[in-house]
């Protein structure tokens, strides 16, 4: 259900951007969803389609979601790696097995990945999320 809260932020933000640009009608909103946030795109689509009705300027807008792959870089040894490894670790810690998925804190606050995952090469917790962290609006098409 966290997807509903995220959808609300996307809808509120889109309406604000439209207002700031003097748009009369928003046509398309392109949203990038970081892999690390583990958000379900189908629920995001459903939620944005329902919530957009509260704003006239968004009533006919199409929200397009695209997953952004997550990349991590160790600030200790420089090693880079992707989400597959991270996801297995998160599953292991919270769901009891690398292949079993369940609710976890990284879904809510992606930056907490540093609390539960280590660099696969040197074991350091000091790494950065290069990309694919959370949600952002990449582009909005509108009519003035």
User: Which residues would be at the binding site for other proteins (CB under 8 A)?
Assistant: 1-2, 4-6, 8-10, 12-14, 16-17, 32, 47, 75, 105, 108-112, 114-116, 125-126, 128-129, 133-140
Burial class (CB in 10 A: 0-12, 13-18, 19+), 102: exposed
Between 87 and 119, CB nearer to other proteins: 119
The answer to whether the CB of 75 falls within 8 A of the CB of 126 is yes
CA 88 to chain centre: 18
Strand partners, 129: 72
* CB-based contacts of 139, cutoff 8 Å, min separation 6: 28, 29, 30
We find the least distance from the C-beta atom of residue 15 to other proteins, in angstroms, to be 8
Between 6 and 23, CB nearer to other proteins: 6
Q: For residue 41, what are its two tokens?
A: 């795109």
Between 9 and 84, CB nearer to other proteins: 9
We find the least distance from the C-beta atom of residue 13 to other proteins, in angstroms, to be 4
We find the least distance from the C-beta atom of residue 144 to other proteins, in angstroms, to be 18
We find the least distance from the C-beta atom of residue 85 to other proteins, in angstroms, to be 18
């Amino acid at each position: 259900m966290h997807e509903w809260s995220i959808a609300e932020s996307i809808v509120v933000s889109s309406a604000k951007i439209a207002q700031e640009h003097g748009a009369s009608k928003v046509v398309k909103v392109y949203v990038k969803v970081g892999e690390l946030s583990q958000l379900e795109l189908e629920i995001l689509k459903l939620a944005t389609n329902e919530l957009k009705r509260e704003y006239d300027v968004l009533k006919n807008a199409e929200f397009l979601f695209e997953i952004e792959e997550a990349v991590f870089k160790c600030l200790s040894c420089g090693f880079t790696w992707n989400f597959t490894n991270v996801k297995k670790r998160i599953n292991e810690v919270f769901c009891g097995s690398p292949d079993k998925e369940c609710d976890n804190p990284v879904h809510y606050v992606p930056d907490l990945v540093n609390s539960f995952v280590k660099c696969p090469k040197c074991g350091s917790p000091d790494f950065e999320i290069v990309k694919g962290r959370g949600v952002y609006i990449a582009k909005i098409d509108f009519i003035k």
